[in-house]
């Protein structure tokens, strides 16, 4: 595994699929630990550029969302033939790990989180889609 993607220093691999990977990385420019999601563009052939356009548009529009249930996206762009997005790194277990360990979680917790996320999305949709810059440091 390469120890770097662009200027991001890879600390560990968090998840992997056939088309991409999620890494825990250090951003030396901001000094932050961030999650770096990568998507191999060659896996999408002639549709890759349309995919890039759509994802960049979505990443830009999520900057307006403000909810503890939504991970902040700092930026997105193409690096070394991959579509990459940097976002908050949040320490914790995956749902699959929790289920495998039989830790579980209550249906009420899931319901509350889903309701909060839905309210944040509705608020986002009902406002204009003007671009705003996040008040948090950007890693892009």
pLDDT the model gives residue 31: 93
In DSSP terms, 24 is beta-bridged to: 12, 35
User: Residue 51: what are its φ and ψ, rounded to 5°?
Assistant: -60, -45
- Listed as own residue / partner, the contacts of 5-14 with beta carbons closer than 8 Å and 24 or more positions apart are 5/36, 5/38, 5/79, 5/80, 5/82, 5/84, 6/79, 6/80, 6/84, 8/34, 8/36, 8/84, 8/86, 10/36
Which phi and psi angles does 105 have, rounded to 5°? -160, 155
What is the CATH number that goes with domain 4-91?
Answer: 3.30.200.20
- Under the banding of pLDDT at 50, 70 and 90, the label for residue 74 is confident
What pLDDT was estimated at residue 112? 62
Give this prediction's pTM.
0.65
Least confident of 8-12, 66-70, 86-90, 131-135: 131-135
For residues 13-31, give the mean pLDDT: 92
Confidence of residue 105 (pLDDT cuts 50, 70, 90): low
Question: What pLDDT sits at residue 127?
Answer: 42
């Amino acid at each position: 595994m390469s120890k770097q993607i662009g200027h991001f220093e890879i600390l560990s691999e968090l998840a992997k699929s056939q088309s991409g990977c999620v890494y825990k990385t250090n951003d030396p420019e901001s000094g932050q630990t961030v999650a770096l999601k990568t998507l191999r563009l060659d896996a999408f052939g002639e549709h890759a550029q349309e995919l890039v356009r759509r994802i960049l548009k979505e990443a830009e529009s999520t900057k307006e969302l403000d909810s503890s249930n939504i991970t902040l996206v700092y930026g997105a762009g193409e690096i070394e033939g991959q579509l990459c997005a940097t976002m908050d790194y949040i320490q914790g277990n995956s749902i699959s790990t929790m289920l495998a360990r039989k830790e579980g979680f209550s249906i009420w917790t899931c319901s509350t989180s889903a309701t909060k996320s839905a309210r944040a999305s509705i608020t986002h949709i009902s406002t204009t889609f003007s671009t705003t810059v996040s008040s948090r440091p950007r890693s892009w």
